[in-house]
């Protein structure tokens, strides 16, 4: 689908990723971008810099309320579904979290069906691979739940259900969709709801206070950190393409250990501090591994997507943003309720 002069809706539009998608849609010449969010977790502050374009409309609405979604979808060509509870908010409020992740998407798909929306791009997660993190992980790798914490498994399976709901609505009601499975996303307007991004924020906040950054465990745990702007670009490519019914892993393919991450933060901040190692058995975790290699071949070949921002550059942007906001205070994690 052509993006220029088209109208788009981003559910959970006040989200980290939604705000980056909205930015790129405006750059691409979209006629209007509607940001539907009930502000239960996110805040309109994330997108206030976009409202001066005159092409971004903020709508307070709940993906669990059909009439609000139907109203917001009037005249919309394509939907980016980002509204969700990540693992940490799910651990605090599983009732609402699972409702938003599963019934919320069902409501949006049903509304797309009746409003004749051409396509939906669904924000899924590499959590759908669970602990199957040995060897090269491709889009065909099945979920392995062994050893995954219950809340992380609930998040992962809510995303698996989401993917199947997209497939069902495509098969039964001709609602086209693409599934994008992101690894750990970071960037400007970062929140502290992602279990793996917390490693970045916590270490950085301690370094800037002159305190030794804490590494949980022995520091060999790895994650694949992908820049939010690169993820947003993948969303636009998915909407633009003629493909439907396909899933893509959106990751850098590069595993970074907590040791490497903290070393990089210390270098970027010019700090001479050394890390302190602690155990934290009660911590909420995603599937964790000392090995992680996501294939990005399918995204490269079929979508023409590859990450463009290195971890060093991306962390530089995150740090600059954090310094420019309210003295770098950590935003709250606690969800206020779902509807």
Residue among 155, 169, 182, 227 flagged as catalytic: 155
CB of 324 to ligand NAD, least distance (A): 19
Q: Any residues with CB less than 8 A from the CB of 170 and at least 6 apart, and which? A: 176, 177, 244, 245
The three-state secondary structure class of 34 is: strand
**Residue 322 Cβ vs ligand NAD, minimum distance, rounded to whole Å:** 15
CA distances from 73 to 107, 160, 219 (A): 12, 25, 46
H-assigned helices in the chain: 16-27, 66-72, 87-92, 94-98, 105-115, 150-173, 197-208, 228-240, 258-268, 297-298, 311-324
Enumerate binding residues for ligand NAD (CB under 6 A): 12, 14-18, 37-42, 62-64, 82-84, 86, 100, 104, 123, 125, 182, 184-185, 191, 193-194, 197, 338-339
Q: Is 122 a catalytic residue?
A: no
- Judged by CB, which is closer to ligand NAD: 176, or 235? 235
Under DSSP, the state recorded for 332 is P
Query: What letter would DSSP give residue 53?
Result: G
The pairing of strands 56-60 and 32-37 is parallel
CB nearer ligand NAD, residue 128 or residue 266: 128
Our separate counts of H helices and E strands in the chain read 11, 15
Which one, 37 or 230, has the nearer CB to ligand NAD? 37
Rounded least distance, CB 149 to ligand NAD, Å: 16
Least Å distance, CB 274 to ligand NAD, is: 28
| Closer residue to ligand NAD, CB minimum distance, 197 or 212 | 197
Alpha-carbon distance of 190 to 235, in angstroms, equals 18
Residues known to be catalytic? 155
């Amino acid at each position: 689908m052509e993006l220029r002069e088209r109208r788009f809706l981003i559910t959970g539009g006040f989200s980290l990723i939604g705000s980056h998608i909205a930015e790129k849609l405006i750059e691409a010449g979209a006629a209007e971008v509607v940001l539907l969010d009930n502000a239960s977790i996110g805040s309109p502050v994330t997108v206030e810099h976009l409202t001066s374009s005159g092409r971004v409309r903020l709508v307070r609405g709940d993906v669990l309320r059909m009439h609000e979604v139907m109203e917001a979808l009037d005249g919309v060509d394509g939907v980016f579904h980002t509204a969700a509870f990540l693992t940490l908010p799910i651990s605090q409020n599983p009732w609402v979290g699972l409702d938003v992740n599963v019934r919320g998407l069902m409501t949006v798909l049903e509304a797309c069906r009746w409003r004749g929306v051409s396509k939906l791009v669904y924000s899924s997660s590499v959590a759908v691979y669970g602990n199957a993190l040995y060897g090269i992980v491709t889009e065909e790798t099945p979920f392995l739940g062994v050893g995954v914490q219950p809340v992380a498994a609930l998040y992962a399976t809510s995303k698996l259900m989401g993917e199947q709901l997209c497939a069902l609505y495509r098969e039964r009601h001709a609602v086209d969709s693409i599934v994008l499975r992101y690894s750990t996303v970071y960037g400007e307007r970062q929140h502290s709801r992602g279990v793996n991004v917390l490693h970045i924020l916590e270490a950085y906040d301690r370094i800037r206070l002159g305190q030794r950054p804490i590494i949980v465990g022995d520091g060999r745990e790895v994650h694949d950190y992908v820049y939010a702007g690169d993820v947003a670009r993948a969303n636009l490519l998915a909407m633009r393409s003629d493909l439907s019914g396909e899933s893509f892993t959106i990751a850098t393919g590069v595993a970074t250990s907590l040791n490497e991450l903290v070393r990089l933060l210390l270098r970027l901040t010019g700090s001479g501090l050394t890390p302190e190692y602690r155990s934290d058995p009660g911590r909420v975790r995603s599937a964790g591994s000392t090995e992680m290699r996501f294939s990005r071949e399918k995204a490269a070949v079929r979508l023409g997507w590859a990450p463009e921002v290195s971890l060093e550059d991306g962390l530089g942007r995150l740090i600059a943003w954090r310094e420019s906001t309210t003295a770098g205070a950590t935003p709250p994690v606690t969800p206020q309720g779902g509807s």
